[in-house]
Amino acid sequence: MKVVIGSDHAGYPLKVEVLEAIRKAGYEVLDVGTFNTDPVDYPDLAYKVGKAIQEGKAERGITICGSGIGACITSNKMKGIYAAICHDTYSAHQGVEHDGMNVLCMGARIIGSALANEVALSFLKASVEEVERHQKRRKKIYAIEEGTYKGE
């Protein structure tokens, strides 16, 4: 699986650690920046991660900013991008399995590197469960995204 990763300046040190862990685990990684701690805006990097997924350059993405919130909000504005902040392994894999999450967001000021590495690997190892109840719920999410949702 090819993974795209990006961070702002606050997330850069953690991105370096996570990048190393996922590469060691055998994942091919596209790093879209930032490449140092000079100030940059998290929407720019979250957009690059989402765009790489939209263009088929990666299947999953990881964004890291100070809290994870800004990157998550930005990511979820993009069509076909389903992002969530996860700072625990259960949410990281369950978000993929049940909800079709394709972007993991983490806050470098919230989570330590050892746990962040475990969370990232839990996210990447998970597969979307093709169970009817989960499919039904994901279809509703897609309909909301498309503006065709009628509610129940």
What pLDDT was estimated at residue 39?
98
pLDDT at 152 over 90: no
Give the residue extent of every domain in the chain: 2-146
What pLDDT was estimated at residue 102?
98
Predicted confidence (pLDDT) per residue in 13-64, tens digit: 999 999 999 999 999 999 999 999 999 999 999 999 999 999 999 999 999 9
Is 98 part of the annotated catalytic residue set?
yes
Distance, CA of 102 to CA of 58 (rounded, Å):
10
Predicted confidence (pLDDT) per residue in 91-147, tens digit: 999 999 999 999 999 999 999 999 999 999 999 999 999 999 999 999 999 999 999
Is 65 part of the annotated catalytic residue set?
yes
Indicate the class that CATH gives domain 2-146.
alpha beta
For tokens 């919130």, the residue is: 69
Distance, CA of 90 to CA of 77 (rounded, Å):
24
Provide long-range contacts, Cβ within 8 A and 24+ apart, for 140-145: 141/82, 141/99, 141/100, 145/79, 145/80
Q: Give the full edge-to-edge strand order of the sheet including 2-7.
A: 28-31, 2-7, 60-65, 103-107, 83-85
Catalytic residue among 65, 72, 86, 105: 65
Report field, pTM of the whole predicted structure over 0.85:
yes
